[in-house]
Structure 1
Amino acid sequence: MSYADGGGLTAGGRQHRELFERRVRPPEVAERLRVSRKSVYQWHRSWRDGGPDALVSRGASGSRCRLSPRCLEKLAGFLEPPTSP
């Protein structure tokens, strides 16, 4: 799979990478992105150790859905608003 806009990085990942490549200090990155310094230091360490690929999104976190397709269909039916006559 190819990514035309930055090697598979999310927009946020590209911004982190670009700030790190421009040697913006982590506390300033945290301020600009309005996130904790701890998160930025973790991102910076990942970027430093693994390069831009280390900032690629891993997708949604959490457990995978264990409902069968049939159960998902039934659930969707329960969640749909009732139709008016």
Structure 2
Amino acid sequence: MRYSQGGGLTAERQRFRERIRFEAGERFARGEKNAVIVKDVRVSERSVERWRRVWQVGGMGALASSGPAKVPKLSDERFVELERELARGPAVHGWEDQRWTLARIRALIWWKFELDCSPAAVWRLLHRHGWSWQSPARRALERDEDAVGLWKKEVWPQVE
């Protein structure tokens, strides 16, 4: 499972792919054609072409893994602090209702850690730590059907 390990390839899978690149590098050194390498290691021709260009410039060391593509901006220790703040609820932080939105969490990250990140980065951070979006399973108990019906009947036509 890729997301349970932090939202990318596992360390084992990174090592596996690195071994494939190193194997291709050894074959480049022997003068083998791209088509043969593509068939044997079962990767795309474009990948082999890219690896060959990198190998020609930097040698075998250039084929080494450069680590995860996106390093999280918030460390695991700091995320624990963020979770504590999220558990306290939005009302404690000045919002009127009890809903956490990406924009609110983004603002909380800025206030708490002085770290600016996009809503997409906030989503990736939450998803990486096992959070998911929630939606109500049913209508609120406080919903007044008569008031809603009256509003639809009298107010909405005036708005249109």
Same fold, TM exceeding 0.5?
Answer: yes
Report 1:1-85 matches (<5 A): 10-69=18-77, 71-72=79-80
State whether residues 21 and 51 of structure 2, in contact with CA within 8 Å, keep that contact through their aligned partners in structure 1.
no
Alignment match, 1:83: none
Between 1:57-66 and 1:34-43, the stretch displaced more is: 57-66
Q: What displacement does 1:35 show?
A: 0.8
Q: How much identity, in percent, do the aligned residues show?
A: 28
Distance 1:12 1:72, change over 3 A: farther
Alignment match, 1:5: none
Letter in 1 for 2:62: A
Q: What displacement does 1:70 show?
A: 5.3
Larger helix fraction of residues: 2
Moved over 6 A (4+): none
State whether residues 17 and 47 of structure 1, in contact with CA within 8 Å, keep that contact through their aligned partners in structure 2.
yes
Using the alignment, how far apart are the partners of 2:80 and 2:23 within structure 1? 36
Q: What displacement does 1:66 show?
A: 1.9
How many residue pairs were aligned?
68
Q: What displacement does 1:47 show?
A: 0.5
Deviations 1:1-27 (A, max 9, x none): xxxxxxxxx322321111111111111
Q: What displacement does 1:49 show?
A: 1.5
Distance 1:21 1:71, change over 3 A: same
More relative contact order, 1 or 2 (CA 8 Å, 6+ apart): 1
- RMSD, aligned CA: 2.5
TM-score, length-scaled by structure 2: 0.36
State whether residues 19 and 29 of structure 1, in contact with CA within 8 Å, keep that contact through their aligned partners in structure 2.
yes
Indicate the structure (1 or 2) with the bigger Cα radius of gyration: 2
Distance 1:70 1:62, change over 3 A: closer
TM-score, length-scaled by structure 1: 0.63
Using the alignment, how far apart are the partners of 1:49 and 1:70 within structure 2? 39
Using the alignment, how far apart are the partners of 2:78 and 2:59 within structure 1? 42
